[in-house]
Chain A
Amino acid sequence: MTTDMISVVKVRDILLVTIPADPDDGTVCALQEKVLQAMMRYDARGLILDIAMVETLDSFFARTLAETSRMVALMGGRTVIAGMRPSVAITTTQLGMTLGTIASTLNVDRALDLLSRFGERRILE
């Protein structure tokens, strides 16, 4: 599997990344770099990681997602994880993982809402 299979779409100033169902470790690492490069190239303010297709979120994958979110934060962006399946949410919690401080939403729609609200608040401030 290569990162060519990972779709990165820009919606306004937000990057929408769809994570494939069962990526290997190399793909997960490559994804991180691809996303960070895209943040800069597209002058993005936010990142949505759509994990609706992901059936297995093990500790390596979860740690890489949490790390990516911290890296994006260093670049001034905000990350939202969208679409976690119920079975993945149960397993992730029982495995003892946390995704740190990353926000998560039920789906991409709500992630867009959340990020746009964050943008408004920033303008008001």
Chain B
Amino acid sequence: MISAEQGTAPVASESDIVTVRKISREMATQMGFGITDVTRIVTAVSELARNIYRYAGTGIMQWQIINRNGIQGIELSFVDQGPGIPDLALALQPGYTSSDGLGMGLPGSKRLMDELEIESEIGTGTTVTIRKWLRGTSY
């Protein structure tokens, strides 16, 4: 049971990817998201956690329940001190990949969530934040 409204989990191994999937699934389910939205959230979490593991090696996932204009949402941030993304616009282009992925990690996650923001600096690291609102823009 994830009862805390916010928390942090490490992303440094394959089993951590499974753990952050579990955390986000429990949290989204408890918040009242439907099964399809829960699946969207967990899938985006899996993509972004794997990005950390693959490109930066280690990082963290931070989660919290947020409120905007009385609407509750889930916010998940994926923070690493990895190499950074040289060209953000390119990284968000469907089909683009710099490793052996299918190139849908970032653009795919963006489609699954209501919001996706990236901050990235070369040599400093990357933070990807995703949000989904309980009264979301998609069904």
> Which A residues form the contact surface with B (CB < 8 A)?
22-26, 55-60, 62-63, 85-88, 90-91, 94-97
**A86 and B18 alpha carbons, distance in the complex (Å):** 21
Contact with A along B108-130 (1 / 0, CB 8 A): 11011000000000000000000
Contact assessment for B50 and A91 in the assembled complex, using a CB-CB cutoff below 8 Å: no
**Identity of the chain B residue whose Cβ is nearest the Cβ of A92 in the assembled complex:** B43
Q: Does B91 contact A (CB under 8 A)?
A: no
Q: Note all chain A residues with C-beta closer than 8 A to B107.
A: 96
Contacts of A58 in B (CB 8 A): 43, 46-47, 50
Q: How far is the CB of B98 from chain A (nearest CB, A)?
A: 14
Give the distance to chain B from A59, nearest Cβ to Cβ, in Å. Answer: 5
Q: Separation in Å of the A88 CB from the closest CB of chain B?
A: 6
Q: In the bound complex, do residue A22 and residue B39 qualify as a contact, i.e. CB atoms below 8 Å apart?
A: no
Q: Is the CB of A56 within 8 A of B108?
A: no
Given A90-B36, A95-B43; 16 other pairs, CB 8 A cutoff = A22-B22, A25-B14, A26-B14, A55-B39, A56-B46, A59-B102, A60-B101, A63-B101, A90-B39, A91-B39, A91-B40, A91-B43, A94-B111, A96-B108, A96-B111, A97-B108
| Cβ-closest chain A residue relative to B18 | A24
